[in-house]
Amino acid sequence: MEIVYRTWKKIFLENISVKLLMLGMFFNPLGFDAVQYWLISLTGSLWYANLTLYFISGFFFGLSLLFKKYSK
């Protein structure tokens, strides 16, 4: 039987990974009307607003994967 020790660093990185994944899903433009409307009024274009939200969402998804990789 093998005992696996979880250090504080591993637990911390896993928690950061989950929070970043939640933020990535939060900024996904398929459900966020208030942020979408604000970006449309800010940029003046639906396409730029969607592109901005997809970039933010992708950024957080990428960080989530990165932290998940380093927590192993």
Instruction: Assess if residue 33 is contained within a domain.
Output: yes
- Which of 62, 20, 60, 25 has the alpha carbon at shortest distance from 35? 25
When comparing pLDDT for 66 and 23, which is higher?
Answer: 66
Residue 13 falls inside a structural domain: no
Confidence of residue 17 (pLDDT cuts 50, 70, 90): confident
Q: How sure is the predictor about 40, in pLDDT bands with cuts at 50, 70 and 90?
A: very high
Of the pLDDT bands very low, low, confident and very high (cuts 50, 70, 90), residue 30 is low
Number of domains in the chain: 1
Phi/psi-derived region of residue 44, left when phi > 0, alpha when psi is between -120 and 50, beta in every other case: left
Number of Cβ within a 10 Å radius of residue 48 = 13
Let me know if residue 40 belongs to a domain. yes
pLDDT of 42 strictly over 90: yes
Q: Print the domain residue range for 29.
A: 21-70
Predicted TM-score (pTM) of the model is: 0.62
Higher pLDDT, 36 or 27: 36
